[in-house]
Amino acid sequence: MKKLPLLLLLLLTTKTHAQEKSIYHKGWIDFNKNGKMDVFEDPSQPIDVRVADLLSQMTVEEKTCQLATLYGYKRVLKEEMPTPSWKNEVWKDGIANIDEELNNLTSHTDAAPTQYSYPYSKHAAAINTIQKWFVEETRMGIPVDFTNEGIHGLNHDGATSLPAPIGIGSTWDKELVRHAGRVVGREAKALGYTNIYTPILDVSRDQRWGRVVETYGENPFLIAEMGKQMCLGVQEEGVASTLKHFAVYSVPKGGRDGADRTDPHVAPRELYEMFLYPFRRVIQEAHPLGVMSSYNDWNGEPVTGSYFFLTELLRQKFGFNGYVVSDSEAVEYLYSKHHVADSPEEAVREAFEAGLNVRTNFTMPQTYIMPLRNLYKEGKISMKTLDSRTGDVLRVKFKLGLFDHPYVEDTKAADKLVHNEDATAMGLKMNRESMVLLKNENNLLPLNKSAIKNILVTGPLATETNYAISRYGPSHNPVTSVFDGIKNYMGSGATVKYAKGCNIVDATWPESEIIETPLTPQEQASIDSAVAAAKQADVVIAVVGEDVDRVGESLSRTGLNLPGRQLKLIQALQATGKPVVMVMINGQPLTVNWENKFVPAILEAWFPGPESGRVIVETLFGDNNPGGKLPITFPKTVGQIEFNFPFKPGSQDPQGGKNSWGKTSVNGALYPFGYGLSYTTFAYSNLQVSPQKENQQGNIEVSVDITNTGQRTGDDVVELYLKQEYSSVTVYDYDLRGFERVPLAPGEKKTVHFTLHPDDLAILDKNMNWTVEPGKFMVMIGSSSEDIKLKQEFEVRD
């Protein structure tokens, strides 16, 4: 009797080996292991036909498993590699996607160390092993979509890093963003990931919001253009791009985040023109395969439970044809936060009926799958809808080629493809292009390397590096701090000293923003030490701002001054009479009014990538001529918020309107949208607009000459703004409708061309229909939204 189990085990093992050998055929894979090529296994068949055939063979259990995320190792999944116990888990019938699998994430909240993230080839082989389990050990063999984050480089151990998205937005460089997208996609595919959660298309209209750092800025046109290029770049490499966060996510009441993230005060017209605009454009022009639904509500409807958002808008109006994944816990919030569902199961039903395809949460997938199965058994959801939701997921998997090539075919190639020389050069270029020069009184910058013998580097961000590593990007890349960057650059040619000056925040911050406390003896001593060192220096480089604990997800602020004692440090340094250069490392606009008035030079570096120290010092000394432009307005005070671009007529006159007779408010931007200085100068000329008169469906061609009139090679961003002079409804005073980043040698002139399409002229009329109304329009060319250089009118006729 004891021999029988052994005999059975041998027979089963033999059968498994035979099965493994038999399912892989030349040109096709026998996923359902029935010994014949089914329609869904035939690569020559149309995708929709393959989807229908596969659905017809699937059980309810298998279909519902395609509607949930399994979070990867250390988040939810407990094992790095498949184990026999997986046969007892809900994913024995498959799973939609496994998120952030074996990526070796570094995070305060959910770090996930693993032995399989590096070398890169080891990760690719590990993903193959997991994929192999799903193909060979589940009945239908449906491959997994391996998802991951990637908003400033792939969220993987040692992948190529980019500046934070607010820095990417500051480059205004569409071609470079496309290249960055290709790098993200190429690295993802080499490592075994098939779907990347990028770009973020949220429109940052409230500078207090913590996630400003993760966005491309405040302007929907700029965001649409940059997001389109990132999406196209990723998907050109055969990897899905998933847009987030759909929709109206970025303006929660009061800019609050974390446990709040609700109640955006957005009018219907603004919803379409401002917050849906980037999604519509990117969906229709780049055809992303994924969209992530957001936590928030709008007009009483939580988005993740809204048929209007997830079906009517996304699929019927915008033509989206991929699958919708929820943000983590967004489904559960229908019950626990929004209270539009009276039970967790009802929340599942509402999200499912609304159009959600895949639920994500930091819980086991059965917490969604089992309620879904119960709903079907009770007749509360139909097979037709279940097939539709499942079919969307399967369609994406077919489009990604997972049913034809489910594995990384050359795992060793990952070691050559990930973070290679091309990618490193691209990341370095993007960091350089993201630098924005805010002030340069008397041309203090660039600094003269040969003339400077003593440098003080001070400020709480001078030796900090955590800003280069975030929750949604690469980890474990070596970071060059600003202090180290300056030391490396100067070598033995100068003495470079460091004095911290102060901490990023004081002991009672953020309360100290509203109830000031005196400096402690230790704080005063630290500032005094920096001042003493400054007096011995030829130049002071003060590195101030925020770190990852002061800005980011769930880190919205109520004030936007430099945190803690940093202003007091700057004031003490400025009082020495030595030239002070202020370098800002931060994730959102800061109200640096005193600093702007008195400090002679200010460089905005945002949250740069690991090359931060190198790039910042190259910029300060002129090896890199800053050409970035602000993608978001810097207000003078939080009391002005909302203060941004574009704006409606009369809503934020830069210097106060005709009725501003009183001295009661601070007016105007500290730095306007599109602003940024250079070490050279540029001149605009020869603006041509043709035809001068056009019908409502015609294109308008615009050209303008730009000349570098200075002594240094540099980039300028030519910004095209469009003003509709009269319209049937109130529209934005004027708005961005074109831009090109142009590199120019001294004395060089180039002609920049733009085409204005009907969509660029369209507004929502009184009946909320997009239309191009006849009338006069003004083309405006500028170097910022306020610094308009040239104007020319044209007319649209019936």
Alpha helices in 536-668 (DSSP H): 566-574, 593-598, 612-620
Sequence length of the chain is 798
**Tokens found for residue 261:** 């993230």
**Tokens found for residue 19:** 């099965």
Is 312 within 8 Å of 360 (Cβ atoms)? no
Instruction: Show the beta-strand stretches assigned E in 33-127.
Output: 69-71, 97-99
> What 3-state DSSP class applies to 472?
coil
Q: Which helix (H) or strand (E) holds 292?
A: strand 290-293
Alpha carbons 290 and 438: distance in angstroms, whole number? 37
Beta-carbon count within 10 A of 59 CB: 11
Taking only Cα atoms into account, the Rg of the chain, rounded to an integer number of angstroms, comes to 28
Q: What is the pLDDT of residue 654?
A: 55
Residue 167 backbone dihedrals phi, psi, to 5 degrees: -75, -40
Q: Which residues are catalytic?
A: 327
Q: What is the pLDDT of residue 16?
A: 46
Instruction: Show the beta-strand stretches assigned E in 650-798.
Output: 669-671, 682-690, 693-695, 700-708, 714-724, 735-744, 749-756, 763-764, 770-771, 775-782, 788-797
Cis amide bond preceding 511, omega within 30: no
Beta-carbon count within 10 A of 57 CB: 15
The position carrying tokens 């609304």 is 354
**pTM above the 0.75 mark?**
yes
Contacts of 88 (CB under 8 A, 6+ apart): none
Is 427 within 8 Å of 611 (Cβ atoms)? yes
Dihedral angle of Cα 473, 422, 187, 467, to the nearest 10 degrees = -10
Contacts of 31 (CB under 8 A, 6+ apart): 23, 40, 41, 135, 140, 141, 142, 403
Alpha carbons 28 and 646: distance in angstroms, whole number? 53
Vertex 449, ends 447 and 451: CA angle to 5°?
Answer: 90
Q: What is the pLDDT of residue 21?
A: 63
Alpha carbons 152 and 303: distance in angstroms, whole number? 26
- Beta strand pairing call for 682-690 and 700-708: antiparallel
Instruction: Show the beta-strand stretches assigned E in 46-112.
Output: 69-71, 97-99
Q: How confident is the model over 426-450, as pLDDT tens digits?
A: 999 999 999 999 999 999 999 999 9
Please measure the distance between the N-terminal and C-terminal CA atoms of the chain and give it in whole angstroms: 92
Beta-carbon count within 10 A of 577 CB: 9
Q: Is the alpha carbon torsion for 66, 71, 76, 82 positive or negative?
A: positive
Q: What is the pLDDT of residue 11?
A: 39
Alpha carbons 390 and 65: distance in angstroms, whole number? 9
**Tokens found for residue 352:** 């499912």
Contacts of 263 (CB under 8 A, 6+ apart): 252, 253, 296, 297
Q: How confident is the model over 124-170, as pLDDT tens digits?
A: 999 999 999 999 999 999 999 999 999 999 999 999 999 999 999 99
Alpha carbons 111 and 114: distance in angstroms, whole number? 10
The distance from CA 194 to its chain's CA centroid, rounded to whole angstroms, is 18
Residues pairing with 703 in the sheet:
688, 753
Give CA separation, 791 vs 233, 470, 517, 531, 629, in Å: 34, 42, 51, 49, 21
Give CA separation, 316 vs 119, 387, 768, in Å: 44, 18, 16
Give CA separation, 615 vs 248, 493, 609, 788, in Å: 35, 19, 9, 30
Q: What is the pLDDT of residue 260?
A: 79
Is 596 within 8 Å of 439 (Cβ atoms)? yes
Give the closest residue to 262 by CA, choosing from 272, 250, 279.
250
The position carrying tokens 């969220």 is 155
The distance from CA 744 to its chain's CA centroid, rounded to whole angstroms, is 29
Q: Which helix (H) or strand (E) holds 724?
A: strand 714-724
Alpha carbons 674 and 703: distance in angstroms, whole number? 19
Alpha carbons 334 and 326: distance in angstroms, whole number? 12
Give CA separation, 5 vs 1, 8, 17, in Å: 8, 5, 18
Is 600 within 8 Å of 559 (Cβ atoms)? no
Beta-carbon count within 10 A of 151 CB: 26
Q: For the chain, list residues with pLDDT below 70.
A: 1-21, 653-662
Alpha carbons 397 and 48: distance in angstroms, whole number? 12
Cα diameter, the chain: 101
Residues pairing with 242 in the sheet:
290
